[in-house]
Homo-oligomer: A and B are copies of this chain.
Amino acid sequence: MIAAPDLAEAPVERDGIDRLAFRDAMARLGAAVTIVTTDGPAGRAGFAASAVCSVTDDPPTLLICLNRGSSAHAPVQRNGKVCVNILAGEQAELARVFGGRTPVAERFGAATWRPNASGTPELEGALVSVGCEIQTVTEVGTHDVLFCRVVSIRSRRDGNALIYFDRTYHAV
């Protein structure tokens, strides 16, 4: 566990928001931690993502925000399919491995995987593994927002959530 960030001493309103102030604010927006994987002609890749959310159930669609500078960006785009593995409370160490600069082989070596019906790696022990096809991509600043159609779901019945809040992992 790392210390909570040092936020403003007292409520402060800022206009003309700088990147640091924005990052501090977004550190207070708790989120589930996922590992997004891909495999296919462009190779295997995976990254930790907390900017994932449900969009609509008609048709079943979620979105993922992905930095275009990420090493996973090209394989994800070219393979056109991903698996969103929602981490359980006990999987914080895996989030660190997939959030750092660890080489791809070592990342995948840190856990057990099996391919879903589309051949994309599902994580053993994830709360839910959601297989997706990328439908459209919207560029926003440094990031791509991937709108993904859900094509498969594999769920565990039990398990706590892993939540990232105040730059620390929490089991909920």
Contact = CB atoms under 8 A, between A and B. Distances in A.
Contact of A55 (B25, B34, B140, B152): B140
Interface in A73-110: 86
Interface string A45-82: 00000111111111111110101000000000000000
A148 B143 CA distance: 14
> How many chain copies does the complex carry?
2
Interface residues of A, number: 68
Nearest to A64: B53
Given A7-B155, A141-B61, A29 B54 contact: yes
A127 interface: yes
Contact of A9 (B15, B54, B63, B157): B157
Contact of A15 (B14, B17, B152): B152
A53 to B, nearest CB: 4
A10 interface: yes
Contact of A7 (B116, B147, B157): B157
